[in-house]
Amino acid sequence: MEFLFGVMLPYTAFTVFVAGTVLRAAGWLKTPVPFQLTLFPVPGSIQGKIRSLALDFFFCASLFREDKALWLRVWLFHLSLGLIIAGHVAGIYYLREQFVLVGLAPGTSRLLSKLLGGTAGTAMVLSLGALIVGRIINPVVRKLSVPEDFFNLLLLSAIAASGIFLYLPVFHVDLPAVRSYMGGLVTFRPASLPQSPMFLVHFLLVNILLLYFPFSRLLHSVGYFVNRSVLLESPPTYPTKEGAAPRSAFASSGRHAGLHASGREPMDMGGNP
């Protein structure tokens, strides 16, 4: 059991998460973009394009422009998610004493770390709750939704909630034990799982999320970059520069080149007498 849940599962989940996400992204990226699909107006310079992507990445800027209420729920959720991921890495590695690095006393750092983690966790649960409610009360969005949409939100809520429960004295988890276990995983010298049922629930749910992520709509985190970069491409200029590589085989042979489904007959161009 210990081996199955403490070793096999996390390594499998992590591998599936990384390989799955990379393969899905690679699948998109290796497909050509046969035509410029620029959505105007676009920034002309590389810096401008990166700026535009970054504004969307950090602040969901385009959602802010179109729907402020949804933006608030969504941004709060992603912000807390980002803080929590960063907090997990730093807090576990430094045993909550990461803020000593910026000059605080160890005791203060532990307190601040707990405070920040607790706040971000609560914000995450609340924003996820708001997202679920939003999906239900808006009739259009409810009709568009499929079960997966609710499952994603519930799974994340369960992860956040079980994480917050670890703060309660009854579910106390020994942080050094977590650190030696996680450290063991990272250095390929697996140590034993911490003895806390709530920690095991939390850990199991995260592994399910990792296993599930590459196949779910949560991949919007990657698809977002793929779509946006297509829309941000600069338009072509004419006459075409000498020696420019063709964008795709379509430019020379057409969409059906080498494919069999089309059943298309060659067309007579006709002429104008």
Partner 1 sequence: MNPPFHLAKKEDLKHIGIGQVDDSAIKARTLKLMDEFRKFSRSFSAMLETCTRCGTCANACHSYLGTDDFNNIPAARAGYLRAIFTRYFTWYGRLFRRFSGAREFDDDTLCSLVSYFYQCNACRRCALYCPFGIDTAEIVLAGRNILTSLGLAPSFIVSIARNEILTGNNTGILKPAIIDSCSFLEEELRGETGLDIKIPVDKPDSEILYLPSSSELFTNVDTLMGAAKVFHHLGVDWTLSSVMLEAANYGLHFDLEILKKQNRRMRVAAAAVGARKVIQGECGHGWRVARMYSEGADGPVNFQLEHVLDFVAARLQRLSLSRLPIRATLHDSCNYGRGTGLLDSPRLLVRACVEEFVEMTPNRERNFCCGGGSGLLMDEMKDLRMQLGKMKAGQIKDLQPLDYVAAPCASCKAQLPLVLKHYGMGDTACGGVMDLLGRALVMDNERRIEGNATGNHVK
Where on the chain is the footprint of ligand HEM (CB under 6 A)? 57, 60, 63, 70, 74, 78, 131, 135, 149, 152-153, 156, 218, 220-221, 224
153 contacts which partner out of partner 1, ligand HEM, none, CB within 5 to 8 A by kind? ligand HEM
User: Nearest residue to ligand HEM, using CB?
Assistant: 221
Nearer to partner 1, 36 or 192 (CB): 36
Pair of tokens at residue 136: 């239900």
* CA distance linking residue 194 with residue 175, whole number of Å: 9
Closest CB 218 distance from ligand HEM, rounded Å: 5
Give CA angle at 17 (13, 23), nearest 5°. 140
C-alpha dihedral sign at 255, 256, 261, 266: positive
User: Is 133 a residue that touches partner 1 (CB under 8 A)?
Assistant: no
DSSP letter for 266, please.
P
Tokens 């590389």 — which residue? 46
Q: Considering only residues 29-88, where is the footprint of partner 1 by CB under 8 A?
A: 29, 31-42, 56, 60, 62-63, 66-67, 70, 74
Pair of tokens at residue 91: 């807090």
Nearer to ligand HEM, 99 or 212 (CB): 212
Which residue, 224, 219, 201, is CA-closest to 155?
201
Closest CB 190 distance from partner 1, rounded Å: 30
Contact 32, 222 (CB under 8 A): no
Q: Considering only residues 206-245, where is the footprint of partner 1 by CB under 8 A?
A: 215-217, 219-220, 223-224, 226-228, 230-231, 235-236, 238-240, 244
User: Is 264 a residue that touches partner 1 (CB under 8 A)?
Assistant: yes
Pair of tokens at residue 218: 């949560």
The residue from 1, 4, 137, 140 that contacts partner 1 (CB under 8 A) is 140
Who contacts 272 (Cβ-Cβ below 8 Å, separation ≥6)?
none
